[in-house]
Amino acid sequence: MDPSFDALVARARRLSVPGRRLLGIAGAPGAGKSTLAERIVAAVPGSVLVPMDGFHLAQAELERLGRAGRKGAPDTFDAAGYVALLRRLREPVADEVVYAPLFRREWEEPLAGAVPVPPDVPLVVTEGNYLLLDTGPWAPVQDLLDETWFLAPDPATRVRRLVERHVRYGRPRAEAERWVAESDEVNARVVEGSRARADLLVRG
């Protein structure tokens, strides 16, 4: 049976024992990862959200690499930087605040130094598309997480929400639909291939 939101919160709270734990939420574009992660963090005292999306490469670097046309694909992120951050987050150092980046959707650019993670934070929730890939620079991620959830709502619902979100952030509808079909859904298939590696499946 699909876990309720309250059951997910209870599960996250149980993880958040003294000592640092990392919870990862994976899923295809538009699955609702950021929304769920924000709600979990709001419900678990002292927890902090560190999105994988903060490791989007800057637009200028994507253009230099010739990858701007498929922003969001696995090789358009600084995956090794994300892995290095997760390693730091696993081993808190007394008196040291670790800073994580955010992705600013209104700019479509990352922003460094945006999320402070003090050493006494019991639970770090991280979320993103590629947490469960077992290839290339993403492969170390799963072992750095204490528990992983895969969020997989009905695909038609997911695609509809994704188009609406692109429109809300200013894309004309036809362009939003094309971007979802030609870019987001290509990435969605890659993400779907990693679903079986999760500890828990959440249909939302």
Ligand X SMILES: Nc1ncnc2c1ncn2[C@@H]1O[C@H](COP(=O)(O)OP(=O)(O)OP(=O)(O)O)[C@@H](O)[C@H]1O
- List residues binding ligand X (CB under 6 A): 27, 29-35, 53, 129, 161, 165, 204
Strand partners, 110: 103
Q: What is the layout of strands, in order, in the sheet containing 123-128?
A: 48-49, 123-128, 21-26, 147-151, 200-202
Residue 152 DSSP code:
-
70 is in the binding site of which of Mg ion, ligand X, none (Cβ under 5 to 8 A by kind)? none
Binding of Mg ion by 16 (CB under 5 A): no
Q: Strand 200-202 relative to strand 48-49: parallel, antiparallel, unpaired?
A: unpaired
H or E element in which residue 99 lies: strand 98-104
Q: Minimum distance between the CB of residue 54 and ligand X, rounded to whole angstroms?
A: 11
194 is in the binding site of which of Mg ion, ligand X, none (Cβ under 5 to 8 A by kind)? none
Residues in contact with Mg ion, counted by CB under 5 A, come to a total of 1
- CB distance 90 to 144 below 8 Å: yes
Residue 92 vs 115, nearer CB to ligand X: 115
165 is in the binding site of which of Mg ion, ligand X, none (Cβ under 5 to 8 A by kind)? ligand X
Binding of Mg ion by 34 (CB under 5 A): yes
Q: Minimum distance between the CB of residue 8 and Mg ion, rounded to whole angstroms?
A: 17
Q: Minimum distance between the CB of residue 33 and Mg ion, rounded to whole angstroms?
A: 5
Q: CA 100, CA 41: separation in Å to the nearest integer?
A: 16
Q: Which amino acid is at 98?
A: V
* Interface with Mg ion (CB under 5 A): 34
